[in-house]
């Protein structure tokens, strides 16, 4: 058998072709890959190539994800609308195309995951010819094809899961991990430990090689109980620094009332006073400065991981005037201030956890008629806390600026197992009762809520019989909405919903307690000869006894270490101090929250007209109270609270958010 060898020239050509085939190509960084291959899936630049000239602050944290970077861990504490979700998609795409390995991406909930896959990741894959070629389609009949939550490619796969599922987190082996909105993960997962600890087990086998990666991205939540905030503080704390156009010193934009300045009404004319030389930086100069900025670590040290902070003050997507308006609109509402801190300034919010002394609050009491609604209060709610024996009740009037006035409180004694007997008889009388106001009118309660924590079946039955009543249950934990979506509790033997059946709503008690304690600390002021009450001020009529004040101040916010991680929890004074009227107040606030969130000044004016308030008393200030300020005013009912009142001015609100940063 004769073997024919190619001519030398042909052999050279083949050799070169083989060398080109197996020789590694030119190295490309994740940011370079994204600029050439990634199509933005959503937002104002959807369908366009990822433009890092507009968002240069994404380059360094994105390049961290390459094998060439020696660091293993990075965290990003951010506000919304900064582009870091696109960074996570870019990291996934780069991994699939350039450095294939097994990658794990975790979202807080199924809803978050579905949104990420359907609205972001899948769109990015379909828009990128490179990713379409590399990521196997979902139509493959073999087990080598992709699925909705598993994207397969040569050399590895992108597996996606949720932080509330032990099945998603346990037993996985992954070289690289991306944790999106990591502060939204639960503290404990079904008594089996922290999801963060479970996730870190995925790259356990890569620890010896030192080539694992963990990238956590999140907006922060509550100070002292926030994963991303704690991780940022433990890292080297990198901020995006810009160079002053006047003196050339470097600094970063910060939520500082001495620096970020604006008018307190439209036009806001927001601008920034440079900390180096005091020169004014106009809003239109911001983006050009950001484009030429750089990351600088402010707390570098041995063994510290990378930690980045980026917020709306530096974001090219959020104008400064928009931020100024958000600050003004937040006013002194703790819920809005928390949203402002988390989503605009990328800061964890310091929740109030100490109630004023009960004797100080008792000293506020003023003469009032039991069961009467005072002038200016346009919303009436009733909350009932059902116990094993007896029912505690608070009837609360609310003003448009969230001032509150207890109209009636009571303890309805008797058994609570039969809706036709005992304490429920008194509750039925309250349900039917009308309450007189200052103008000769009589109202029924706008909202009536009953806690279903004890004798649940009896509460459900009583709720069925009384239209408009909401069955509720308190839910521990931060980041819960005030009043959750109603869930059906009545189903037939087939699992079908029973028409007209009772529904249950969960109440986010922890945030509401902090908001209540914030309001309790607010003091009335004297301006000239007039008494001025701040938004949220808590009035107390003189028919309230000492027991009531003990109960509404019966809890405090405490720090504890739970499964190796810090968190803040509410605890009762002495371990078991009665707190029933505190629960009633929280439930009343929960059901009133929807009105304060949705009602405009016109809505409140219509409500005043419906209530029969004379037209000459329906002043604009009744419906759109101005931000409360302590300027030229003297605090009363506890001068120690004067400084607290200052936080209701927009600039002082910024100062409050800026504390400790």
User: Any idea where the domains of the chain sit in the sequence?
Assistant: 30-237+299-318, 243-296+320-350+626-661, 358-613
Candidate CATH numbers 3.30.420.240, 3.40.50.2000, 1.10.1040.10, 1.10.579.10; the one for domain 358-613? 3.30.420.240
CA distance to 72, 161, 183, 570, per residue, from 198 (Å): 17, 12, 15, 26
pTM of the model: 0.79
8 A C-beta contact, residue 518 and residue 585: no
Give the whole-angstrom CA distance, residue 211 versus residue 213: 7
Which residue positions in the chain have pLDDT lower than 50? 1-24, 492-493, 625-648, 660-661
Tokens standing for 398?
């609310």
8 A C-beta contact, residue 235 and residue 71: no
CA angle 481/485/486 to nearest 5° reads 140
Give the whole-angstrom CA distance, residue 27 versus residue 11: 29
CA angle 6/7/10 to nearest 5° reads 80
CA distance to 146, 152, 337, per residue, from 142 (Å): 9, 12, 52
CA angle 545/547/548 to nearest 5° reads 70
Cis status of the peptide bond prior to 463, with omega within 30 of 0: no
The crossing angle, in degrees rounded to 10, of helices 423-432 and 456-465 is 30
CA angle 266/281/252 to nearest 5° reads 110
Cα 215 from chain centre: 20
> Residue 173 — φ and ψ, nearest 5°?
-120, 110
Cα 413 from chain centre: 40
Sheet with strand 271-273: strands edge to edge: 260-261, 271-273, 280-282
- Burial of residue 174 (CB within 10 Å: 0-12, 13-18, 19+) is buried
Which ranges of 38-127 does DSSP label H, i.e. alpha helix? Answer: 59-63, 84-97, 110-115, 122-127
CA angle 237/238/240 to nearest 5° reads 145
Convert the pLDDT of each residue in 237-246 to its tens digit: 999 999 999 9
Q: Give the pLDDT confidence score for residue 9 in this predicted structure.
A: 46
Q: 30-237+299-318 maps to which CATH number?
A: 3.40.50.300
8 A C-beta contact, residue 341 and residue 290: no
Q: Give the pLDDT confidence score for residue 142 in this predicted structure.
A: 56
- The radius of gyration of the chain from alpha carbons, rounded to an integer in Å, stands at 30
Q: Give the pLDDT confidence score for residue 640 in this predicted structure.
A: 38
Give the whole-angstrom CA distance, residue 338 versus residue 344: 10
Q: Decide if 30-237+299-318 and 358-613 have a common fold.
A: no
């Amino acid at each position: 058998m004769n073997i024919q060898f190619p001519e030398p020239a042909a052999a050279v050509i083949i050799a070169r072709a083989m060398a080109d085939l197996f020789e590694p190509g030119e190295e490309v960084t994740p940011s370079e890959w994204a600029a050439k291959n990634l199509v933005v899936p959503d937002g104002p630049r959807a369908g366009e190539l990822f433009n890092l000239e507009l968002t240069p602050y994404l380059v360094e944290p994105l390049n961290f994800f390459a094998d060439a970077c020696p660091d293993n861990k990075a965290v990003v504490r951010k506000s919304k609308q900064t582009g870091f979700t696109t960074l996570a998609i870019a990291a996934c795409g780069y991994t699939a195309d350039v450095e294939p390995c097994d990658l794990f991406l975790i979202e807080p909930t199924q809803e978050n995951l579905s949104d990420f896959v359907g609205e972001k990741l899948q769109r990015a894959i379909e828009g990128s010819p490179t990713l379409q070629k590399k990521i196997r389609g979902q139509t493959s009949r073999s087990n080598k094809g992709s699925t909705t939550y598993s994207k397969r490619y040569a050399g590895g796969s992108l597996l996606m899961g949720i932080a509330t599922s032990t099945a998603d987190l346990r037993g996985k082996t992954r070289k690289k991990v991306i944790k999106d909105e990591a502060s939204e993960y639960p503290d404990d997962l079904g008594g089996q430990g922290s999801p963060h600890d479970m996730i870190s087990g995925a790259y356990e086998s890569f620890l010896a090689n030192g080539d694992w990666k963990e990238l956590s991205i999140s907006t922060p939540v509550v100070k002292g109980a926030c994963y991303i905030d704690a991780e940022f503080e433990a890292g080297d704390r990198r901020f995006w620094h810009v160079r002053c156009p006047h003196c050339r010193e470097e600094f970063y934009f910060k939520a500082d009332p001495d620096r970020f300045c604006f008018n307190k009404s439209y036009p806001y004319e927001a601008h920034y006073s440079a900390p180096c030389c005091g020169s004014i930086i106009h809003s239109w100069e911001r983006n050009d400065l950001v484009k030429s900025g750089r990351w600088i670590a402010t707390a570098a040290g041995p063994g510290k991981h990378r930690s980045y902070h980026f917020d709306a003050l530096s974001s090219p997507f959020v104008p400064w005037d928009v931020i100024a308006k958000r600050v003004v609109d937040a006013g002194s509402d703790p819920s809005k201030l928390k949203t402002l801190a988390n989503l605009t300034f990328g800061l964890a919010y310091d929740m109030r956890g100490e109630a004023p002394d009960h004797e100080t609050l008792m000293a506020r009491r003023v003469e009032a008629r039991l069961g009467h609604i005072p002038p200016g209060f346009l919303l009436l709610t009733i909350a009932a806390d059902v116990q094993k024996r007896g029912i505690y009740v608070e009837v609360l009037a609310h003003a448009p600026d969230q001032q509150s006035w207890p109209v009636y409180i009571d303890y309805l004694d008797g058994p609570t197992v039969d809706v036709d007997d005992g304490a429920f008889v008194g509750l039925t009388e309250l349900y039917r009762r009308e309450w007189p106001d200052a103008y000769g009118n009589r109202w029924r309660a706008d909202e009536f809520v009953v806690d279903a924590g004890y004798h649940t079946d009896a509460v459900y039955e009583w709720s069925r019989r009384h239209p408009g009543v909401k069955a509720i249950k308190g839910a521990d934990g931060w980041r819960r909405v005030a009043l959750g979506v109603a869930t059906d509790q009545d189903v037939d033997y087939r699992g079908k919903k029973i028409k007209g059946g009772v529904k249950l709503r969960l109440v986010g008690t922890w945030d509401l307690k902090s908001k209540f304690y914030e309001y309790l600390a607010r003091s009335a002021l004297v301006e000239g000869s007039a008494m001025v009450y701040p938004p949220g001020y808590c009035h107390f009529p003189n028919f309230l006894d000492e027991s009531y004040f003990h109960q509404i101040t019966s809890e405090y916010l405490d720090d504890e270490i739970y499964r190796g991680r810090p968190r803040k929890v509410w605890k009762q004074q002495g371990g078991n101090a009665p707190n029933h009227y505190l629960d009633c107040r929280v439930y009343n606030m929960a059901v009133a929250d929807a009105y304060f969130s949705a009602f405009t000044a016109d809505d409140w004016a219509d409500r005043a007209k419906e209530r029969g308030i004379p037209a000459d008393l329906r002043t604009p200030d009744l419906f759109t109270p101005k931000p409360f300020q302590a300027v030229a005013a003297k605090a009363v009912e506890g001068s120690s609270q004067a400084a607290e009142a200052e936080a209701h001015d927009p600039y002082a609100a910024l100062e409050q958010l800026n504390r400790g940063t």
